[in-house]
Amino acid sequence: MPHQKCVFLDRDGVLNRERGDYTYMLDDFEVLPKVPEALALLKQHGYLLIVVTNQGGVAKGLFTKNDVMACHHKLQQSCDNLIDAIYYAPSHPNYSESLSRKPDSLMLERAIARYNIDVTQSWMVGDSMRDLEAAEKVGVKAILVGDKYSAGSYPLHMHDLWEAAQVIVGGNYSL
């Protein structure tokens, strides 16, 4: 299998609206504007699209794995099934330890091995520093999106996934 390039994507705050609390009810799961278009653009440029998301509410007993899967199904339907894989970490440090949970990088490492991903051509788009730390651990370039952090808090900081996709496919960046 040839090496593939990939865009790893955090879920909450990148693909769907961050609610400040856990998003697990279908009525609350809202795909952000221009996300389907951003994913389509990345696909047109040959990127695998892999979601890597912490879902610690499962370990806390706030919601079930079935709730998470229902949200992922809605995400795929809203985005024309463009996402190649979704990895999620159901653990939470107060309840269960896991190397999958970001900022650890096991979700990314599993995907890299399974899909023969070339990390030098791949990206992570996240809305928190723990997403970027996970990317750094595996040698993937990263883009911070959203408004959780002040401007300039990370070298590549974009408004949203659409802007990040423009940078990724256009090669208009310097690290």
- Per-residue model confidence as pLDDT tens digits over 109-130: 999 999 999 999 999 999 999 9
Where the chain has pLDDT below 50, the residues are none
Beta-carbon contacts of residue 57 (< 8 Å; ≥ 6 apart) = 22, 24, 63, 92
Q: What is the pTM of this model?
A: 0.95
- Sorted by where each starts, the structural domains of the chain and their CATH numbers stand as 6-170 (3.40.50.1000)
- pLDDT tens per residue across span 68-86: 999 999 999 999 999 999 9
Handedness of CA 121, 123, 129, 135 (dihedral sign): negative
**Alpha-carbon dihedral 154, 163, 128, 40, rounded to 10 degrees:** -140
The catalytic residues are 10, 12
